[in-house]
Amino acid sequence: MLNFDSEICTNFQSATSREWLETNGIGGFASSTISGANTRRYHGLLTAAVNPPLGRVTMLSKFEETLVIDGERFELSSNQYLNVIYPKGYKFLKNFRLEPFPIWIYQINGIEIEKSIFMVYGQNTTVVQYKSKAQSPKSKVELELKPLLSFVDYHSLQHENDDINPSFEISENLVTIHPFDGMPSLCFTNNANKVEKTGIWYRNFEYAIEKERGFDFLEDLFQPFNLKFDLSKDAVVVASLEPQDLSEVLSLQKSEIKRREALIKTADVKDDFTKQLVLAADQFIVSRGDGKTVIAGYHWFSDWGRDTMIALNGLTLATKRFEIAKSILLEFSRHISKGMLPNRFPDAGEMPDYNTVDATLWYFEAIRAYAEKTEDYDFIRNNLYEKLVNIILWYLKGTRYNIHIDTDGLLYAGEKGTQLTWMDAKVGETVFTPRTGKAVEIQALWYNALRVMADFAGKFGDEKDKEKYLEMANKTQQSFNDLFWNEAEECLFDAVDGENKDASVRPNQIFAVSLPNTMLSNGKAQKIVKKIEDELLTAYGLRSLSPKNKNYCPYYVGSPFERDSAYHQGTVWSWLIGAFVDAYRKVNADGRETENRVNEILENFKNHLTEAGVGQISEIFDGDAPHTPRGCIAQAWSVAEILRICR
């Protein structure tokens, strides 16, 4: 349980800088801040995945909440408008906690109001409940809830318009509204005593983080009706695409608590940090058709091939959710095209993008890790092996974006205007880190894939192909060591393209040490780890570029162009800590001293669970201290890699 007292909750800046997240296992989510003030376009009580896991629509932004005690009105809501915070309900907050979902305690005139929010797993449904506690028998306590509707694609903002249909239908315990053609209806199942029509626009909500990020930051929200409750009993509102049964709410709540408890039990974890990581990991695993996939990050990412394969080990294997791992591997095998895994599935459901060189190579490593944990070689032989063979053939003959195996056995990728590695920031035609040619981690992944294939071929009795893959791997190893060692810096070049050798000290070389199959001597591996520890290691991961480099950007702030230009030019990436710890353990003796150092590295992440995305791990951090968290508040590979190395 993560718990925040009134000192944090009643401080608007502290409470608003901390965000909570609920997910539903099909791509939908609910999220806002502890204070209740929305600071992002992505904040809302119900963002529904209309075409799971995508087609996401923010439908219900929030409730305006008013507590009425013996006729005296107290506003529980908090909003940031232009130049003003109103109302200031956060001042009544006594406590906020995750247990396991978001719970607030408001204290007013000796009366405590408990509010809780959870999503129903597998449904676009959010349940909001209010309980009156420590109430004087003589006090009359009432609650008014005014829903504020957005009904826009979740990347967008709503503005006052005449196209809205303000009408709604009322039946027993149900209010249904369909404000826009082409959008789903929204059902409010509730136990209110009264429903009053309002039909007004609330204008100019100001979203501070959008303003900071250089995007449009003002939104208008439609307020159709007022729900009035007598708090002598619990108040319940279920916002959903379908009518719900109020009598099932308690059962749904208990089921969700048991489901999360079962995740922890299955993972067999003991300490509070790892337990929370298990729950965090679950939020990224979602359904895609009959299979499973991984949402790369909240709030704005969809499912990405690269992120999914990197995160698979930590999200599913470290948590002993082997069937889900199997489902993800199988689902992505259906989308292989010309030897390539999709880079991402677009939100609008168009054809996947195939603009990545490394997603496919991480697929080999994900399958290897699955085999190591489960020994389910029959599944691999019957469903995946031939597809892996075909991928190798495509890389040998060449595929999209000039991806091909060169005569020296190394993997070449890229052409002008493309960004195919994980360092993929691009604005317009500007590619900030193109890394065209032979990128260092791509060679490490390619070699690892060849050794994995040799092992599989041997396991499946294919001795001819086993020898072929080993021969290719040996050639790759020889060429790599001849080409990539930078004697002046005692580490590896980041990328090589003909005579051009990029000597930028970046974290990509860590994978040449950390992957299960490595091409380096122990001596070189030790020097690489030392170099990265000295120049790139921070409290929250590895910098994407050494501060000694003239292009180093210490802060991830400003306009979209400014931020993207810093994205891989010094910004700290937390997911890289997994590879660093793997490499550190490889080059240092097993024992207490090594593990004490690893624990020291991880300690800061324990504290991080109480900031930014509460209970989650952020995507990135500033390169310079105090390493402010930036980007997504919850990133799949960040959680996955930390969870993996904790096991």
Same domain, 175 and 224: yes
Residues 6+ apart with CB under 8 A from 600: none
pLDDT at 77: 98
Question: CA 389, 395, 397: angle at the middle one, nearest 5?
Answer: 105
**Are residues 312 and 328 in contact, defined by beta-carbon separation less than 8 angstroms?**
yes
Same domain, 277 and 232: no
Using left for φ > 0, alpha for ψ between -120 and 50, and beta otherwise, residue 109 falls in left
Same domain, 195 and 290: no
Q: Report d(CA 157, CA 140) in Å as an integer.
A: 39
Which of 210, 235, 256 is the last residue before a domain boundary? 256
Same domain, 251 and 280: no
Q: Report d(CA 240, CA 428) in Å as an integer.
A: 38
**Are residues 508 and 441 in contact, defined by beta-carbon separation less than 8 angstroms?**
yes
- Neighbour tally for 382: CB within 10 Å: 9
Does the pTM surpass 0.85? The reply is yes
Same domain, 470 and 533: yes
CATH number at 74 reads 2.70.98
Residues of the chain short of pLDDT 70, as ranges, are: 134-137, 347-350
Q: Is residue 352 part of a domain?
A: yes
pLDDT, one tens digit per residue, over 149-187 is 999 999 999 999 999 999 999 999 999 999 999 999 999
Same domain, 360 and 460: yes
Averaged pLDDT of the chain: 96
Same domain, 313 and 207: no
Residues 6+ apart with CB under 8 A from 393: 339
Q: Which domain holds residue 191?
A: 2-256
Residue 605, Cα to own-chain centre: how many angstroms?
Answer: 16
Same domain, 287 and 408: yes
Structure tokens at 634: 């919850």
**Token pair 């509707």 is at which residue?**
149
Which of 202, 230, 256 is the last residue before a domain boundary? 256
pLDDT at 136: 62
Q: Is residue 262 part of a domain?
A: no
Q: Is residue 261 part of a domain?
A: no
Q: Is residue 13 part of a domain?
A: yes
Number of folded domains in the chain? 2
Same domain, 312 and 190: no
pLDDT, one tens digit per residue, over 604-637 is 999 999 999 999 999 999 999 999 999 999 999 9
pLDDT at 39: 98
pLDDT at 232: 92
Structure tokens at 133: 């506690």
Same domain, 16 and 104: yes
**Are residues 617 and 278 in contact, defined by beta-carbon separation less than 8 angstroms?**
no
Which of 256, 278, 309 is the last residue before a domain boundary? 256
Q: Is residue 61 part of a domain?
A: yes
- Measured between its terminal Cα atoms, the distance across the chain in Å is 20
Same domain, 168 and 304: no
pLDDT at 264: 97
